[in-house]
Structure 1
Amino acid sequence: MLTLPPLSLYIHIPWCVRKCPYCDFNSHQSDTHVPEQAYVAALARDLAADAELAQGRRLTSIFFGGGTPSLFSCAAIGEILNSAERIIGFEENIEITLEANPGTFEQDKFRGFRSAGVNRLSIGIQSFNDEQLQALGRIHDGDAALKATDTARRAGFDNLNLDLMHGLPGQSLAAAMQDLNTALALEPEHLSWYQLTIEPNTVFYSKPPTLPVEDTLADIQDVGHDKLQQAGFKRYEVSAYARTARAKHNMNYWQFGDYLGIGAGAHGKFTTPNNGTIFRQWKTRQPDAYLNADAGPGRFPNPFCAGREVIEPDARALEFLLNALRLTEGCAPTTFTERTGLPLDALEPHWQELAGKGLVQSRSQRIATTELGMRFLNDVLGAYT
């Protein structure tokens, strides 16, 4: 039987100083002043129109993503958070994350973001190597990345995530480990350590760089994983390592929780136990169109909404597994039934076949892969497509 899961809020800020050649997110380079106040007001109207989807729940986490959310002023971030608390409400100990870049201009804001209510900062470092940063189209250098973490600490942030890529153009095992050693020396609470992938609709897709060969990529992953474990970081998701604090917001995604999504192109997912429905929706993608989305009648109760689709029962097992099997510990069997409304038998006959190959655990104990299955996760998920 379906039950209401926890509720999170994703807030999309679509502007950035420069579009990175590997980025496939809904981000738009702005060479001029962004329409901050108009966008803040639109976000509040968007959230108010979605308020009934909360179904009485308060927010367990908020995540500002982009684009570059730290382009906005501290006052604007505070105003957005005040609207979220007024319209939906906050659970005690809510986690509020903001993505930030290490540019000097943004570092000056860190203390203001903390005062506005942000209690977790995610800094997009990607690399500490200046040549690699240039190849990735980043606007900061390695020194700025080091200073950003120091500034964040002095601003009062005690829950810090660093985003770090590996498998970069021309990167050797030694260079990748130097990046990782530098990050570990900064003692963040959390590391998102992931391999660069070439996505469609990016500059790198049309003009692909020369990436390390498969053997080097495998060595980077294996040696880096061991190094992280030795440093006290536990891998709890494919590319997420926690020393003290897992990302509450991302855990809700991976456990097939619900989330409101506001802002240009933001997505949301919702459970309605009364009629046994799970659906997702997405907002108008282009920033200019989003700002004016409620100027006329819309097709949906929320005029900012560009589309909705129901996740039918026969698609829910795969939707759940696409998220939950990214977790090294997976999920409890009861979580599968509560979040999908399906019996455990819905996983058969594939689960038994995968278990026979040593790729997944017994479904009566955990909905999880084995260590071998995590290495071949695409093959596990492929059984359900």
Structure 2
Amino acid sequence: MPAHPPHSPLPATLPPLSLYVHLPWCVRKCPYCDFNSHERDGDLPEAAYLAALLTDLEQELPDVQGREVTSLFFGGGTPSLLSPGFYQTLLTRLREQLPFARDIEITLEANPGTVEQDRFDGFRAAGINRLSLGVQSFNDQHLRALGRIHGGAEAIRAAGQARRAGFDNINLDLMHGLPGQTPEQALADLRQAIALAPEHISWYELTIEPNTAFYRAPPTQPDGDTLADTEMAGFDVLAEAGYGRYEVSAFARADRQCRHNLNYWTFGDYLALGAGAHGKITRPDGIYRYRKTRLPGHYLAEDGTRRCGLAPVPADELPGEFMLNALRLVAGVPAAMFPAHTGLPLDQLADALTRGRARGLLSNDPQRLACTTLGQRHLNHTLGLFLSA
């Protein structure tokens, strides 16, 4: 690949802008979790955290003045631990500072063990219009192995409560490859999720990540062949129920794909607020990534900027960064999106595309950047074509 200047070029037009807000507290740290989450110790400092988020926002505004926010995601941790009143005030203040799209998607992650009907009612009244329930499994034995604080019956009840609160866009998070889980049990979880008729299902394999309790004491999981067979059978179950696979582990009814995550996968910009949140922003001098102070106590105590690790994405890393996201999408992306969102000419991908197409890993359609079925099956290998280019 030809040499490029060390800093990223500037796209001709700005990509869409999303907002991510991190709520770092949880009731109990799950043994598989490598997110920035911290077990709460007493009452949550809602007022102090709200003030810190708003100060954080003020420091971010110069980079996004006048840009419309198309989606907002409250992630964690366990965002449903915070009160509806917290979100009512926060959303009001965010709207005062940022132009929200008329049809903005606003998602809240919720743990079935931390919500009751009145909280769902309050979240919906605050303006949250999409709910992501962290179910993981409906099998109580497997939930205990995962360290979850809820049972299967609570997860089913929570989905019904969310519907009664007026949520018409619900995601259920499920995992397979759990300790002691048979393929039949994994598919039973899927069928139970489908019976609840969510608009979206995230179904992914339990992976053991560094810096987790499971990494230090790995559980026994099904073997690789069993995992692969379970996955393929699950794809069939979801497809038969009308859930289209549009990303590696995301399945949705028609027109119910998660717009916030789609913005990540198409290399859009995302503003980050909250302890440990990560952001990407296009500035007049290039494309930058950054993160926020990680520990909640430090984030709350910070007097100056909470942004740290701000660095331009080097031009020679942009192809890999873009394709690492875009090829997660089953249909890929329009080829024109690469120059539009990176500022680089499409021919920067030419060598890797030629090699991938020759091996049957990438689509031959010159108008799209997409994997073939074989390329999806060997996604890490396919992505390596661009990371090593």
Tell me if both proteins adopt one fold, taking TM over 0.5 as the criterion.
yes
Sort the TM-score into its range (normalised by shorter chain): over 0.9
Residue 180 in 1 paired to residue 190 in 2?
yes
**Structure 2: unaligned runs, 5 residues or longer:** 1-10
Distance 1:377 1:365 in 2: 20
Change (3 A) 1:365 1:203: same
Distance 1:218 1:108 in 2: 41
Q: What corresponds to 1:343 in structure 2?
A: 345
Structure 1 letter corresponding to 2:150: H
**Structure 1: unaligned runs, 5 residues or longer:** none
Q: What corresponds to 2:74 in structure 1?
A: 64
Secondary structure in 2 matching 1:193: strand
Deviates more, 1:363-372 or 1:244-253: 363-372
**Mapping for residues 121-270 of structure 1, pairs under 5 Å:** 121-244=131-254, 245-270=256-281
Report sequence identity in percent. 57
Q: What corresponds to 2:7 in structure 1?
A: none
Shift of 1:335: 0.7
Shift of 1:88: 1.1
TM-score by length of 1: 0.96
Distance 1:313 1:197 in 2: 31
* 1:361 alignment partner, one of 360, 363, 368: 363
Distance 1:162 1:31 in 2: 28
Structure 2 letter corresponding to 1:253: Y
* 1:96 alignment partner, one of 89, 93, 106: 106
Preserved contact between residue 71 and residue 106 of structure 1 (Cα < 8 Å) = no
Preserved contact between residue 100 and residue 106 of structure 1 (Cα < 8 Å) = no
Structure 1 letter corresponding to 2:291: W
Structure 1 letter corresponding to 2:173: D
Q: What corresponds to 2:372 in structure 1?
A: 370
Structure 2 letter corresponding to 1:75: G
Shift of 1:55: 3.7
Distance 1:192 1:137 in 2: 19
* 1:287 alignment partner, one of 286, 292, 296: 296
Preserved contact between residue 81 and residue 114 of structure 2 (Cα < 8 Å) = no
Secondary structure in 1 matching 2:28: coil
Structure 1 letter corresponding to 2:267: F
Secondary structure in 2 matching 1:208: coil
Shift of 1:288: 0.5
Q: CA RMSD in A?
A: 1.1
Q: Give runs of ≥4 in structure 1 deviating > 6 Å.
A: none
Shift of 1:348: 2.4
Deviation digits for residues 243-269 of structure 1, max 9, x if unmatched?
130101000000000000000010110
Deviation digits for residues 38-76 of structure 1, max 9, x if unmatched?
001100110111012114211100000000000000000
Task: With a CA cutoff of 8 Å and minimum separation of 6, indicate the structure with the bigger relative contact order.
Answer: 2
Structure 1 letter corresponding to 2:301: N
Change (3 A) 1:32 1:311: same
Q: What corresponds to 2:37 in structure 1?
A: 27
